[in-house]
Structures are given as C-alpha cells and as structure tokens.
Amino acid sequence: MRSIGEMARDSGLSVSALRFYDRAGVLVPAWVDPVSGYRWYDPEQCDEARLLARLRRAGMPLADIRLVLAGWSSADSDLVRGLLQAHLRRLERDLSDARSEFSALRAVLDHRENPMTSSLRTATTRLSASAPELAAALDAVRFAASTDPELPMLGGVLFDIEGEDLRVVATDRYRMAVARARTAGHGTGRVQAVVPLPLADAMRALLGGEEPVRLTLDGDRVTLETGDRQAAGQCLDHDFPDYRRLLHLPAGRRAVIDVASFRKALETGPVRADRTREQDGVSYDLSVLAVADDGTVTVHEDGDDDRNHIAVNREFLLHALTAGARDELLLEFGAPTAPLVIRRPDDEDVLSLLMPVRLDDQE
C-alpha cells in the first residue's frame, strides 16, 4: 500500500488534490484508517493517478475525467478516444476564440493613448537625492524585479518622481516591492522612467557615500552622478504597469514579527513539498502561514479550507524579509487569495507584496 504522500510524489498530484478527488469520488483510496482518517492506495492506483494528473493538466472537466477513468479501467478504448478527441476539439475552439479576443485587445491598445511612462519623461528633469536613502530604496526592491525575457517592461526598476518623493518599484507578477527616497530640485510635476536592471545595479554600486547624488532624466536617457563618477544609459522603451492600482488593498489583519526568529521558523519549518509547482520554469516550495487570533504567525503544516491560512513561495518570502532590512517587520494578511504585505513598522510606504498560492486543487 502507498501512503497519500507517496502517491502524491509518484503521481504528480498534490496531497490536497488527492483529498479533493477522493471527496469527489474520482480517485478513492483503497483503504482509509478509521481512527486517523489517513488514506492508503493500492500500487495499481498509481497509473490511474498519473492519468488523472495528465487529464487535469490538459484542462479536462471533472465530469469527463470520471468517464475517461471508467473507460480506462474497463478497457473501453472507443469511449476514451471519443472523450479525448472531443476535449481536444474544445481546446482548439477555445484557443481560436482566445486568439480573436487578444487580436481585438491589441487593436484597442494600438489606438489607446497610454498616460504612463512615455508621456511622463519627455522633458529634462534634474534633481538631487540622498545617496544612503536611494541605496536603501534600491536594495528594498531589487529582489522583486523580473528576469523573464518575454516581459521586458518588467525587466527594470521604475523611478517614479512626484514632488519631493522618488518611488522605486519592481515586480515580476508574483511579487512587487515599493520603496522611496526624498529628493530636492524637481518641483511638483510627475516624471517616470524605467531603468534597466544592469543600469540600476550600476547606479547602486555608486551609492556608497554620504553625499547627495544627482539624477538627470533627459528624454529616454537617465544619468546618476556622484562626485566625478556616473552611471548612465537608455531607459527601457516600455510602459510600466500602474503599480498604484495594486496598492489599494482592503484592510487586513496585522502582526509584528521578529525577523530573526521568523526566518528560522521558515527555514526549519514544514513546507508543502507535495505542492511543488512551476513558476517561470523554476520549481519552488510553499510555506503555509497560520495567523492566530492574538496575531501570532506560525509556519503551519497544512492549511486547507482555513481562512486564516495563506500559502506563499517560501524563497520569495525570505527575500522579502531580507529586503525589509529591519529587526521587526509588519505582516498584513487579507483573504487567502489576497497578497501578503510586508511593511516596515517605521515607514509603511516601504513594502513588498507576495501573491498567494491557492491551497486547493478545485476547478
């Protein structure tokens, strides 16, 4: 007999998926311990579980999966082939419909005036900033920048200047980080530029002193000067997403954590190894965070169907703790489907958002 963990490992289905398919009557374990409720499977069920995993990855509806598995066990190849062919036709039709919709959206975008980056950096702008503040801001967001070549607009750090505030922002879709530094000499207008990552890193390397630095935005060129040294280059010719729309989150539960002890709990605590997934082609582990009524945050072993549990990429959370650069940080929890927000208690405008991962494998 195989335990549910062994079945998950060998089949490609997660433990929570196996529980769900048991409840749905699709893949019922051979025996359930009447005392512990633990599920056990016959070795022969592993092939059926692998088939189920393939069908789900192909997006087949659960009702059809039931029939495919029934036909598979009874060697009814005509039924199985017919169901597979019908699902393939649906996928082809849906793909054709999706292509048409995306073509229409591209046409709308081509004719839509975008008020973002390109229109916000047409004139020459000069300002000064504190080198330590700008260095700290870049350190706080660098971990969240994208390296996906298919999303070049995210392969940089947004410099968003308005009044005396310079906000720096980075995101790779799964996480976003925002920080700020004070400036002088700009005025009240808003100016934006997306600084490519290599240039942002070169700028950061110059920010080791205490003296103010000079930042110049001239059309599509950005220059940072300190003393007799400078880092300069072209801005990315892409519009950055309006990050401010992503900051309007409903108020959630808050908890202050000691970063050192929380980091240790993450590094040594349980992970949902059975929930290993792919994110841009890289596998990762989930940490499930449980929030007690008194605000205590713990790393939990499970978390299905609990509104006080949230699952996040453990590596991303560790990066966010490092970027927070404080002994204590503020965690803000909304619904299990809302981002986890990590803030500095002394400056809540410096924050990281981590997108959660669903703990169920339902439709």
Give the tens place of pLDDT for each residue, 83-105: 899 999 999 988 888 888 888 78
Tell me which residue has tokens 């260095």.
135
pLDDT at 121 over 70: no
- Under DSSP, the state recorded for 149 is T
Question: What is the token pair recorded at 327?
Answer: 């002994």
Spatial contact of 177 and 141, defined as CB atoms under 8 Å apart: yes
17 SS3 class: helix
The percentage of residues in the chain with a pLDDT greater than 90, rounded to a whole number, is 39
Is it the case that residue 110 has pLDDT exceeding 70?
A: no
pLDDT bracket for residue 336 (50, 70, 90) = confident
- Number of other CB atoms surrounding residue 181 within 10 Å: 23
pLDDT for res 274: 44
What residues contact 295, with CB distance under 8 A and at least 6 apart? 253, 254, 255, 256
Residue 207 and residue 213 in contact, taking contact as beta carbons nearer than 8 Å: yes
Domains present along the chain, CATH in parentheses? 2-90 (1.10.1660.10), 117-243 (3.10.150.10), 249-354 (3.10.150.10)
pLDDT at 101: 83
Which pLDDT tens digit goes with each residue over 282-325?
567 888 898 887 778 888 865 554 566 888 899 999 999 999 99
Handedness of CA 332, 338, 339, 340 (dihedral sign): positive
Q: pLDDT for 210-225, tens place per residue?
A: 889 999 999 889 999 9
For residues 18-42, give the mean pLDDT.
Answer: 89
Which pair of tokens denotes residue 266? 């993450």
CB-CB contact of 98 with 186 (8 Å)? no
